[in-house]
Structure 1
Amino acid sequence: MNSPAGKAKAPDTSLEDIEVELFVRALKLRHGYDFSQYAPASLKRRVLQLAHAQDTGNVSELTTRLLHEPGFLSVALEGLSVPVSEMFRDPDVFLALREQVFPVLASYPQINIWQAGCAHGQEVYSLAILLEEAGLYERTQIYATDFNEAALQQAREGIYPAREAQLWSRNYLAAGGRHTLADYYSARYEFIKLDQRLNRHVIFANHNLVTDEVFCEAHLVLCRNVLIYFSDPLQDRTLALFRDSLVRGGFLCLGTRESLDFAPSASDFAPVDAARRIYRLGSRSAGRD
């Protein structure tokens, strides 16, 4: 049946979707953080989780707080980011880095590594430990970046719940660790604090993969389990950013649920270990010498 004269047909958009869209627009217009190219379903889920955590009646209340409460931005960013990780996550990937990538990095007098989307820093410290054990850490600079300032602060402190230590110790050994993980942290009460010597060659910095440009000239870029939250165009932009950041022959390591297979920049990379998502920039690419 046709709609009554003069009455427009209602769009197939739920009120909840409209609220989420307005929240994302407010975040960009008021504070400059653009989440519009994140995967819609994942973004909506996180916005709704944020609304639930803040005990608001609806997403519109989040938008009001975002516009009028200066301190709410950090709360919103913490809720929208996905800083979930563990030390030596996917230990076979770290073992592959140790065995297949580190021997090549050893040929450079100075090694630059970009850990993009470093979250709370667990993988940064994992990398530092393996580099230390490989005798490469003294000539390595790690740039650990994220847009979430609260997560970056925890990464700088290196303090984590002690309940994680047993799993992380197993991961460490599976990644080819040569000692015990306990050699690298001190325990007190219900927390462990990683040896701060591990971040002596780490620079933690705020960087937004959505809007910011090349961060450094890198021999290895790690960005694991971040691209899965991006739309296809944003994934393509980010991969091009990594390509342009790498020296020729540099390495890229993605998450095990991510791939270069259908990306425009795929032809610039050759797989080193496709199963573990480790790639190397080829000579035809735009990387630096």
Structure 2
Amino acid sequence: MAIRLENQVALVTGAGTGLGRAHALELAKHGATVIVNDIDSHSNESTQPTAAALVVAEIEATGGRAAVAYCDVSDETAVQEMVARIISDFGRVDILINNAGILRDKSFGKSNLADFRRVLEVHVMGSVNCSHAVWSQMLTQGYGRILMTTSASGIYGNFGQANYGTAKSAVVGLMNVLAIEGESKNIRVNALAPTAATQMTEDLLKTEDLVKLAPEHVSPGAVFMVSPQAPTKTILAAGAGVFATARMEESTGVFLPMENLSAEDVAENWDRISDMSSTVRTESAFEQTHRYIAKVDSGSDSRGALL
């Protein structure tokens, strides 16, 4: 199943180094025109090319097409202007990979809340700003692929990463809603949960593990998740050539009669309520609500019934 991205324009945020760079190179390999976004850290006196410019040069050297788009993704106005320039220059935006991110790791009790807000601004509002900026164009053209970058820290938690975990969980919520709202317009929205050796993780892992966790071993999964064949509303976990999907599930549930319902009733039925041996997958909040109401209306016995 060949993945062809010719005539598609892909915007990758935070693409000067690490995962973003690897994503950009992999997209170009499949024929996409790649817009390499990063913060412009270039001083006025420097004659050296920026990291983003080096990625563009690397793509062009292999016959690909690419351009730099400097922008802080947490700046809504700057993002809108960046996307407007891309559409003016290239006519469309087919793919957005929200990759830009920062780390400010510290145990919660020692956290600086200014750092906490900054992490949310970059990861969450950066993803919101970029997705919102391309959304109307994708609606108009009847096609779009958006990939959020989540993390195992957001899905499962990780010591010292309250700010990062909060942000990475939030973008899964954004994915869930945008996937529902974009489905009828052929806009598919997914999330990538990468485990990779980057500037953000190089001090946390052994050298031999860093080699296994090269970003290049994640990016093929990212490209599939923004391809015409992509699923939607799906989390792809990836690292060291290992790929898996992660999702939220519920236990099947127990109905407790509402007359005189008490906390003690919940406690007495906790083993059954929390039994995950059989689960249900829920496509939307309304679907969950309708499932609950249907069980009540069906007339459950007074002992509490599985939903």
Q: Same fold (TM over 0.5)?
A: no
Q: TM-score, normalised by structure 2?
A: 0.35
Q: TM-score, normalised by structure 1?
A: 0.37
Query: Which is bigger in relative contact order (C-alpha 8 A, separation at least 6)?
Result: 1
